[in-house]
Amino acid sequence: MAKSGTFLIRCDACGVTNRVPREKVYSGFEAICVRCKRALTVEAHPRAVTDASFAADVERSPLPVLLDAWAPWCWPCQMISLVVEEIAIEMAGRLRVGKVNVDENPSMAARFDISSIPTLLLVERGREIGRIVGMQTKADIARRIERVIHGRVLALER
């Protein structure tokens, strides 16, 4: 987040970073790039990912996916969900974000050996490429995500 009340959203087409008012994103208005005038890709809320939708939402995603493993009774999970929503908006176009209720999706919890929540998983083509367990600040989460995504891009360029 840049200023209070704005998100920084990178344009998929030209790469310029745009300041978009929070109200515009949360109200569902289309945000337009200041340089190329194309619509910005903004998913204001993480997708609900289930055992049944995992293949479509995560394995076939063209982008890395941040999965928020949570449960409704988990107070720290509820606190971190606001951070996860902001990351979904700010990293739109570079990262897809989903939420997995581990109580309702035991197969996914077992597949990724989730024994503690909240757990944030970075997944690419169905394989875990990073993990953040427990409460972290937004800055720490974003920094770790950037490090993994940046490392992934560098590996692809080699």
Q: What angle do CA 64, 65, 69 make, to 5 degrees?
A: 155
DSSP string over 12-54: TTT--EEEEEHHHHHTTPPPB-TTT-PBP---SS-EE--TTTH
Give the amino acid at 49. Answer: V
Please indicate whether residue 74 is annotated as part of the active site: yes
User: Is residue 12 a contact partner of residue 19, using CB atoms and an 8 Å limit?
Assistant: no
Active-site annotation holder among 11, 33, 36, 77:
77
User: Is residue 78 a contact partner of residue 128, using CB atoms and an 8 Å limit?
Assistant: no
User: Is residue 124 a contact partner of residue 145, using CB atoms and an 8 Å limit?
Assistant: no
Please indicate whether residue 14 is annotated as part of the active site: no
Report d(CA 48, CA 149) in Å as an integer: 22
Query: Residues with catalytic annotation?
Result: 74, 77
